[in-house]
Structure formats: structure tokens, C-alpha cells
Structure 1
Amino acid sequence: MAMTEEEKKYKGWIWTLSIVIPLAVAALFGVNLRKLGYDVEPLSFLPPIYASINGLTAVLLVWAISAVKKGNVKLHEGLIKLCMVCSSLFLVMYVAYHMTSDSTSYGGEGFIRYVYFFILITHILLSIIIIPFVLFTFVRGIAGAYERHKKLARITYPMWLYVAVTGVIVYMMISPYYS
């Protein structure tokens, strides 16, 4: 099936955002305002908030899929938009935390350390890979390309759900080591 005009209109933006967002996050992750001499308070209260937002995103994703399977497309669309807002809020808070606070090292030992790093690495990689999937899936839905939307959503949904759930797991595993 051919791409709709709306999809063509957003294609460049989607690819631009899919490249710029991870690069910006990586660049900002390495900037600590306190170490640069700025008098800012560490935003140490943010990790449980953004972990909760990840959990909320997971719940909303499951609800959105349930809604569309029951034929409630409007609810599905609203929930997906809310998921996108939640993911954006997570990203802003995550970057703000890391720009004002020292990184926390995972203190677990033995096998659980390997489990933690496996979950963390797959979470990070998929959080980068998922960006164009989410955006293209969303645009296909709002453009009315429902068959193409559904086909891509079968790939996007489990990846997005994995990122949301593992975000909570990573937080729970590292939270005892926050200072």
C-alpha cells in the first residue's frame, strides 16, 4: 500500500526526531550543571516520579489495545496520545535529573548484576529504536491508513510496552543505591 499524503508530510520530521532525540539525550546526559559550577539543586525527587510515569504508560498501552480490540477507536486514540505525553514527560524528567544529579551506580553483585545490566541495556537500545516505530504507527493511525497502522502496531506495541515495564524494573533495581 502506498503512503498517504499525511504520512509523506511527516516522514522527514519523524526521521529527524528519531535521530535528534537520542543524540540530544546522549549529549545532555553528559552535562551536569552542578559540576559546571551552576548553583542548581539536584532533582533527586524525580526518579520515582518518572518510574511511575513509565508504569502508567504501560497500563495505558494495555488499556489502549483493549479499547481498540473492543472497537472503541476514539478511546484508543486518546490513550495513545496520553502514552506519548507520558513518554515525553519521562524523557524531560530523566534528562533534568541527570543534568542536576550525580549518576547512581548499581550496587548488586553476582548473577543479579548481569540481569540488571541486560535489562538496562535492552531498555536503552529499545527506547532509541522505538521512536520512529511509535511516530510512524501514530501517523498511520491519524492518517487513516488503518491496515498499515495495525501491521506496524504489532511490532511497536510489544517494544513500547517492554520499554515502559523495564523502566520501572530498572528503577526498582537501582533505587536502593540512590544516595
Structure 2
Amino acid sequence: MDVLPYLPPLQALLNGLAATLAGSGYYFVRRGRRQAHRACMIAALAVSTLFMISYLYYHARVGNIPFAGQGWIRPVYFSILATHVVLAALMVPLILITVFRALKGHEYAHRRIARWALPVWLYVSVTGVLIYFLAFHIYAGAPAP
């Protein structure tokens, strides 16, 4: 069975789940529920890791998928895609540093970088879902492999 056609929707699901878990983790920490915060953030990290593995496998096998949208949506799509890609590259070290500081018990340092890492993580996850729907459903060209 070829799994490639199932990977883009799985990746969108994982991105949406990562955003939900990271947002929930923020909600819990703001209410002093540190254990729930920790559980949500560990789950968000695990889901994002699964996404990255799936994403790298898919694009190693398929390559780039051309965007079929024309007109005004084209510059909008590529603007979203460009910011998504740049921030996704920035997100990885931000998250790793944030997690490392939390594990080391450096709460102040953890909070300082988490204030940057969380919005980037949420933006990348949400725009990942948006990019999926734009490229594979709303402006779908050729069917996914």
C-alpha cells in the first residue's frame, strides 16, 4: 500500500493538533496548572516531530507540489508560504532551547524564550494547515501522488 497520498492530510491533522496542544499548554500554564502544561507541551513536541518525519519523507519521495492557484491568490499564497518556511526553520532551535531550559529548571530563561517560541509555533502550525487546504483542496491542480 502506498502511503504517499495519505501524508498531506495527516500532516495537516498533525499541524492542527500541535497548535491545539501548544495553545492548551499555554492556557494551562497561565492558570498555574504546570503538570497539564508540561503534558500538553510534550505532546505538542511529539506531534510536531511526527509531522516533521512525515513531511521530510513525503517531500523526499514526491518533491515539490506546484500551486495551481492563479490571480490574486498566487502572491497571497506564496507570501504565506514564504513566512511559513522561514519561521519553521527558526522554530526548531527556538523550541529546542525552550525545552532544554525547562528541563534544566531555568524557569525565567524558559519563559523568556517561550514568549517568542509559542507564537512562532502557533503561526507555523496554523499556516501549515492553511497551506494544505489552499494547495490540495481549494486550488488543487494535479491530484496528490
Give the conservation status (yes or no) of the 8 Å contact 1:44–1:101: no
> Is the Cα contact below 8 Å between 1:140 and 1:146 reproduced in 2?
yes
Tell me what 1:99 maps to: 60
Matches within 5 A, 1:147-162: 147-162=108-123
Greater radius of gyration (CA): 1
SS in structure 1 opposite 2:110? helix
Query: What amino acid maps onto 1:46 in structure 2?
Result: L
Give the corresponding residue for 1:90.
Answer: 51
Shift of 1:130: 1.0
Alignment partners' CA distance in 1, 2:31 and 2:132: 33
Question: Of residues 27, 44, 54 in structure 1, which corresponds to 2:5?
Answer: 44
Alignment coverage as a number of residue pairs: 140
Instruction: Work out which of the residue numbers 125, 128, 141 in structure 2 matches 1:167.
Output: 128
Inter-CA distance 138–67: structure 2 relative to 1 (3 Å threshold): same
**Counterpart amino acid of 1:167?**
G
Give the superposition deviation at 1:45.
1.3
When the two chains are superposed, the root-mean-square deviation of aligned CA atoms in Å is 1.5
Match of 2:92 among 124, 131, 135: 131
Question: Which residue number in structure 2 is paired with residue 29 of structure 1?
Answer: none
In structure 1, give the amino acid aligned to 2:45. M
Q: 1:145 to 1:102 in 2, by over 3 A?
A: closer
Does 1:56 pair with 2:20? no
1:80–1:42 Cα change, 3 Å:
closer
User: How far is 1:100 from its partner?
Assistant: 2.5
Q: Determine which of 83, 105, 112 is the counterpart of 1:122.
A: 83
Normalised to the residue count of structure 1, the TM-score between the two structures is 0.74
Aligned to 2:141: 177
Tell me the percent identity.
35
CA distance in 2, matches of 1:143, 1:61: 20
TM-fit CA distance, 1:132 = 1.1
**What's the CA shift for 1:41?**
4.1
State the Cα deviation string for residues 10-63 of structure 1 (Å, max 9, x = none): xxxxxxxxxxxxxxxxxxxxxxxxxxxxxx946121100111100011111110
Distance 1:90 1:177 in 2: 23
Q: Which runs of 4+ in 1 moved over 3 A?
A: none
